[in-house]
Structure 1
Amino acid sequence: MKRRTARETAFQVLFQMDMNDIQPQEAVENVLGEPLENAFLASLINGVLEHKDAIDAKIADHLENWSFDRLASVEKTALRIAVYELLYHTDVPQGVVINEAIEISNLFGDEKSGKFVNGVLSRIIKN
């Protein structure tokens, strides 16, 4: 599985968990139809879940005129994955992380999702 596909799949799993309050294994099986076997995908899902409080705090600290509770699930999920990669997968270039987050936001969100995610991530990497 390519990393782009892994990011999209991680997005779907984490989004489903956020929306339906289900366990990771159930969400993975709903999305993939099989057990999780890809190491990068597993690291994204498990890493976001393990560091969720720190990731959410980082996002909240960089929102301008917006509260974390008001974030739509699409943007919140895309930001969580990207911030996890920025903080804990330092082998991936920041530009790649941001570009992937924008693309995923545009794919699953509306026409403003990518711009919003780009703005938040830009503020995060500047600090």
Structure 2
Amino acid sequence: MSARRRARKRALDVLYEADLRDLPLPQVLDAYVGRLESPRPEHLPYAVSLVKGVDTHLKRIDETISTYAEGWTLDRMPVVDRNLARIAVYELFFVDEIDDPVAITEAVELAKELSTDDSPRFLNGLLGRIADYAPRH
């Protein structure tokens, strides 16, 4: 697993916990980082930047997902899918060094490992629509 994929998975862990426990993302992120032993993993800076970026732009990210999720509300989505979509939309809109197909593929691959059988196809379609039609930052 690449360092960036590990970073996305760790960011997903933090987002998932915050979402399930209805806690502020910075609080959950601080607790996560505080639990890590030295030496810290090489992927940590990117994981932290993903969580902070999603937190900073959460309203816009969620509005975008809601707009393009045909027939789905954020609340109806599986928690893993909702948070994978948040990470991917953050990368699509705000991380210039990540190409759109990479952001989408990474979300789909993590969904294959961590979510339902229908999740990869759902995320691929949702993120593809967002990449094609949504205005960027």
Question: One fold, TM greater than 0.5?
Answer: yes
- Residue identity opposite 1:108 in structure 2: L
Shift of residue 69, structure 1, vs aligned partner: 2.4
TM-score (norm 2): 0.83
Of residues 100, 106, 117, the one that matches 2:106 is 100
SS of the equivalent of 1:110 reads coil
Question: 1:42-82: CA deviations, max 9, x gaps?
Answer: 11000001100000001011011222221111110000000
Shift of residue 30, structure 1, vs aligned partner: 4.6
The within-5 A match list for 1:27-106 is 27-28=28-29, 29-30=31-32, 33-34=35-36, 38-106=44-112
- Unmatched 5+ residue regions in structure 2? none
Distance in 1 (CA, whole Å) between partners of 2:58 and 2:26 is: 17
Distance in 2 (CA, whole Å) between partners of 1:25 and 1:70 is: 24
- Is 2:26–2:52's contact at 8 Å kept on the other side of the alignment? no
Correspondence for 1:15:
16
Q: Report the count of equivalent residues.
A: 127
**Structure 1 residues 78 and 32, CA gap change in structure 2 (3 angstroms):** farther
RMSD over aligned Cα atoms: 2.2
Correspondence for 1:111:
117
**Structure 1 residues 118 and 24, CA gap change in structure 2 (3 angstroms):** same
- Unmatched 5+ residue regions in structure 1? none
Distance in 1 (CA, whole Å) between partners of 2:32 and 2:54 is: 19
Shift of residue 31, structure 1, vs aligned partner: 7.9
Shift of residue 123, structure 1, vs aligned partner: 0.7
- Is 1:12–1:31's contact at 8 Å kept on the other side of the alignment? no
